């Protein structure tokens, strides 16, 4: 998986390990010696919470590091760094953690894309279209966010850019009707994959959440087994509010995977673990930049290694 990137003008990206090394209150030597380490463990806990790991994951990581330190397994900085990476990877692989996109055994695969405005949802759809088209799949994009004319036009441009087919809409159209029409078009045009955009809604807008459920219901009635994936797009820069959003969307629709975007110089990557912990669904992709190729399939071990890299 590609290393987390930074945008022009961001402060230099520092890994979790680099922040640990810079913390004057964290005595890595004490941890390595396994002696009086209470203060260092408290400092580690604080740093993990500041990096948006969330309380449950932080508690487990600190306990795992403490146990290994007391067994004398952390003789060097590298030992400690490896122990932390192992704990992060284990947390990401716990529960439902398969990052693979599941395709329909026959007929078009339908992926419903949900999330709030500003999360990078529209761009993520374009990047997914580029990825799946490059794999040789016939992709159709459905512009189901009928509340924003800009979103419809953005998706039209992504379709042209990636060679995907497109089913448009006009502002004010019924989103469920757009999804229905997209499935008709997919069958007629021989599409392998349908990416259905939905209105970017706040998780507190109950009427829009009800409408989102309607889209899912219409898709399921039109094509049994669909949607085959429901991907929740989350902005990695918003901290623990991403967990609040994730829980609200999971109550409205059966989320099957998460895509975390904007994991760049301003993001604190622990939010990936916090969201996985909260929903018990796989992280499918992470967005690390602005280009089509900057949407990487999620790899827990590679992600953990990047968070604690030494350089």
Q: Per residue in 114-154, pLDDT tens?
A: 998 888 899 999 999 999 999 999 999 999 998 888 889 99
CA–CA distance from 216 to each of 86, 210, 224, 227 (Å)?
38, 10, 11, 7
Task: Render pLDDT for 240-251 as a digit per residue (tens, 0 to 9).
Answer: 889 999 998 998
Q: How confident is the model at residue 12 (pLDDT cuts 50, 70, 90)?
A: very low
* 3-class secondary structure per residue, 191-260: CCEEEEECCCCCCCCHHHHHHHHHHHHHHHHHCCCCCCEEEEEEECCCCCHHHHHHHHHHHHCCCCEEEE
How many residues does this entry show for the chain? 311
Q: Is the pLDDT of residue 269 over 70?
A: yes
The span from the CA of 246 to the CA of 253, in Å, is 11
77-86, 202-211, 218-227, 286-295, range with the lowest pLDDT = 202-211
Residue 222 located in a structural domain: yes
The span from the CA of 256 to the CA of 87, in Å, is 24
Q: Whole-number mean pLDDT of the chain?
A: 86
The CB density around residue 83, as the number of other CB atoms within 10 Å, is 20
Task: Render pLDDT for 185-215 as a digit per residue (tens, 0 to 9).
Answer: 999 999 999 999 998 766 566 777 888 899 9
Residue 208 located in a structural domain: yes
Contact 260, 275 (CB under 8 A): yes
Q: What is the pTM of this model?
A: 0.89
Residue 183 located in a structural domain: yes
The span from the CA of 43 to the CA of 23, in Å, is 8
Q: How confident is the model at residue 278 (pLDDT cuts 50, 70, 90)?
A: very high
Owner of token pair 């449950």: 56
> Of the ranges 34-43, 69-78, 280-289, which is most confident?
280-289
The span from the CA of 273 to the CA of 306, in Å, is 14
Pair of tokens at residue 170 = 């006009």
Question: 89 or 210, which is more confident?
Answer: 89
The CB density around residue 139, as the number of other CB atoms within 10 Å, is 28
The span from the CA of 47 to the CA of 60, in Å, is 14
The span from the CA of 90 to the CA of 196, in Å, is 33
Total domain count for the chain?
1
| Angle at alpha carbon of residue 302, lines to 301 and 303, rounded to 5° | 90
Residue 71 located in a structural domain: no
Alpha helices (H) along the chain: 16-22, 28-33, 38-50, 55-70, 77-93, 121-134, 149-162, 175-189, 206-222, 241-252, 271-279, 300-307
Burial of 138 (0-12, 13-18, 19+ CB in 10 A): middle
What average pLDDT does the segment 289-303 reach?
A: 85
The pLDDT assigned to 118 comes to 84
Task: Tell me the CATH number at 180.
Answer: 3.40.50.300
Q: Which domain holds residue 201?
A: 109-299
CA-based nearest residue to 4, from 233, 290, 311, 265: 265
């Amino acid at each position: 998986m590609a290393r987390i990137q930074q945008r022009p003008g961001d402060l230099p990206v520092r890994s979790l390990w680099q922040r640990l090394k810079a913390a004057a209150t964290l005595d890595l030597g004490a941890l390595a010696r396994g002696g009086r380490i209470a203060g260092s463990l408290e400092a580690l806990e604080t740093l993990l919470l500041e990096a948006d790991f969330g309380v449950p994951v932080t508690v487990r990581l600190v306990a795992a590091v403490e146990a290994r330190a007391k067994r004398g397994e952390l003789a060097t900085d590298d030992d400690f760094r490896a122990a932390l990476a192992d704990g992060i990877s284990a947390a990401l692989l716990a529960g439902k953690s398969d990052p693979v996109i599941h395709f329909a055994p026959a007929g078009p695969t339908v992926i419903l894309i949900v999330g709030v405005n500003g999360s990078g949802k529209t761009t993520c759809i374009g990047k997914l279209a580029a990825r799946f088209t490059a794999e040789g799949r016939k992709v159709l994009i459905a512009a189901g966010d009928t509340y924003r004319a800009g979103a419809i036009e953005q998706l039209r441009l992504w379709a042209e850019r990636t060679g995907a087919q497109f089913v448009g809409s006009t502002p004010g159209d019924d989103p469920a009707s757009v999804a229905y029409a997209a499935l008709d078009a997919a069958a007629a045009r021989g599409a392998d994959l349908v990416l259905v955009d939905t209105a970017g809604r706040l998780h507190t807008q109950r009427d829009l959440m009800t409408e989102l459920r309607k889209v899912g219901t219409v898709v399921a009635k039109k094509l049994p087994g669909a949607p085959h994936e429901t991907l929740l797009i989350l902005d990695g820069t918003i901290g623990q509010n991403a967990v609040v959003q994730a829980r609200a969307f999971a109550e409205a629709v059966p989320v099957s995977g998460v895509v975390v975007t904007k994991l760049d110089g301003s993001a604190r990557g622990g939010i990936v673990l916090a969201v996985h912990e909260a929903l018990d669904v796989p992280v499918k992709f992470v967005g690390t930049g602005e280009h089509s190729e900057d949407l990487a399939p999620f790899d827990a071990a590679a992600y953990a290694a990047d968070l604690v890299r030494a350089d």
